[in-house]
Amino acid sequence: MIKEIKDGILYFDGCSTLKLADKYGTPLYVVSENEISSRCKEIRESFLDKYENTKAVYASKAFLPLAMCKIIEREGLGLDVVSGGELYTAIKAEFPVEKIEFNGNNKSLDELKMAVDYGIGRIIVDNINELDLLEQVCQEHNKKTRILFRITPGVKSNTHKYITTGTKDSKFGIPLNEEIIYPAVDKAIKSEYLEFAGFHFHVGSQLHDNKSHLAALETSLALMKYTKQKYNYSITDINIGGGYGIKYTQKDKPKSLSYFMDPVMNRIEEFCKENDIKRPQVIIEPGRWIIGEAGMTLYTVGSIKEIPSIRTYVSVDGGMTDNIRPALYQAEYDAVIANKALKPKTQNVTICGKCCETGDVIIRDIDIPDVESGDILAVLSTGAYGYSMSNNYNKNVIPGVVLVKDGKDQVIVKRQTYEDMIRNEVIPEI
Ligand code: LLP
């Protein structure tokens, strides 16, 4: 058990969360290495080992300290990056470049040059500007680069609108209008400097059903057939993105990875057979699914404000600076008072952060035991898009990250200092 309760205290991957809070201070991100490994194992068992010619790349935007690159490499997965900064981090961690792919809807010239220079595995071309720019860059570097087209499949997903990415009205991907996608395919196939591998889509995040993946898949299959018929060109890759949902609260009923992958693989096999096409490699890009439940955030409870007949606000020493998801997406979380993990839930409170924003609420209306100032509150499933979206609003420092495994703990990201925060600031000479 990754999370367990011993003597009324919450343990995470064998470590007492109280001891961690005491040793490192709060707020603190804690990440379980065993949970990450068991997720990667499930990816191997229910996808990579089960189906030939498949690949999984971790969507690094979810959480990317150098240590995470090392874990992902050891687990045998590739890496998806979306900026020069993520690529730089991966390179610094000596992640094998051929296993890196580059997504993003507005890659700069410098980022494309960097990617081509390093000889990155695949670039997922998002739009026609990028296609032209990349071809020039490759020509200048005299290097051939493997590309996929990210398409906009025009499907709706059942999730928050800010994390829906496959609808027609989207900033991501190439629209499927024939006058746009067909010339792009033509150019990619004929280009001397681009190796056209196939099609990519990503329909959205935190999904608990496979409908949008399956609907989007049809558009990629149709394009695969088009390229075969028109050019006798066999694509080698179909990338179906990430988006597989996890458990934040009891309301979430996440599905297994097989629930997503089996119908996708069956449909691709069937389509290829029907159309006499060699089945391309199938690639997935999970982010949240790998790291989300592997993380938790520890806070110390501070002021407690009871507004008679309205609500009780319980303030913690972090907030939207270390977890902006509730403010951005009305995301819901569950929490445990780490030092009262077995105490009965006696009251309903709202957990808020310390930022100067009314929207700085971490959990609205949670049932919880009697809470006191000084208690340690563990907010669960914060591994994905917590640290990676952290910020310095109100000049709060970004918490450190501790990796735990089998009762051992080590810092993988140091807590920021006040000095770190002002390091790049310059007082002008007036
Ligand atoms: N591939 C592409 C091209 C993506 O854009 C994304 C996420 C993923 C893979 C990984 O998706 P995942 O498996 O993690 O759902 N900040 C938001 C999530 C934004 C996701 C953006 N793209 C959140 O905190 O919910």
Residue 421 pLDDT: 97
Q: How far apart are CA 87 and CA 121, in angstroms?
A: 12
Identify whether the C-beta of residue 375 lies closer than 8 Å to the C-beta of residue 347: no
| Cis peptide preceding 27, ω within 30 of 0 | yes
Q: How many angstroms is it from 164 CA to the middle of ligand 1?
A: 9
Residue 155 pLDDT: 84
- Any ligand 1 atom below 6 A from CB of 55: no
Q: Is the pLDDT of residue 387 over 90?
A: yes
Residue 65 pLDDT: 98
- Any ligand 1 atom below 6 A from CB of 243: yes
pLDDT in tens, 117-133: 999 999 999 999 999 99
**What stretches of 115-206 adopt beta strand conformation (E)?**
122-125, 145-150, 194-200
Atom index in ligand 1 nearest the CA of residue 242 equals 13
| Mean pLDDT (whole number) for 71-87 | 98
Q: How far apart are CA 225 and CA 215, in angstroms?
A: 16
Residue 167 pLDDT: 84
Asked which of 161-165, 169-173, 298-302, 375-379 is least confident by mean pLDDT, the reply is: 161-165
Which pLDDT band, with edges at 50, 70 and 90, does 36 fall under?
Answer: very high
Asked which of 157-161, 300-304, 307-311, 375-379 is least confident by mean pLDDT, the reply is: 157-161
| Mean pLDDT (whole number) for 32-51 | 98
Parallel, antiparallel or unpaired: strands 347-352 and 361-368: antiparallel
| Mean pLDDT (whole number) for 140-144 | 96
Q: Is the pLDDT of residue 162 over 90?
A: no
The whole-angstrom distance between residue 390's C-alpha and the CA centroid of its chain comes to 14
Helix ranges (DSSP H) in 232-373: 257-275, 288-291, 325-329
Q: Is the pLDDT of residue 166 over 80?
A: no
- Any ligand 1 atom below 6 A from CB of 285: yes
- Return all residues near 237 (Cβ < 8 A) that are at least 6 apart: 122, 148, 197, 198, 199, 200, 280, 281, 282, 283
Residue 161 pLDDT: 76
Return the structure tokens found at 119: 């000889």
- Any ligand 1 atom below 6 A from CB of 32: no
Return the structure tokens found at 232: 């006798």
Q: How many angstroms is it from 373 CA to the middle of ligand 1?
A: 36
Q: How many angstroms is it from 62 CA to the middle of ligand 1?
A: 7
In order of their start, the domains of the chain are 3-31+292-421 (2.40.37.10), 104-284 (3.20.20.10)
Q: Structure pTM?
A: 0.97
Q: Is the pLDDT of residue 238 over 80?
A: yes
15 annotated active-site: no
Average per-residue pLDDT for the chain: 97
pLDDT in tens, 301-315: 999 999 999 999 999
Q: Is the dihedral of CA 260, 265, 266, 268 positive or negative?
A: positive
- Any ligand 1 atom below 6 A from CB of 241: yes
Q: How many angstroms is it from 429 CA to the middle of ligand 1?
A: 43
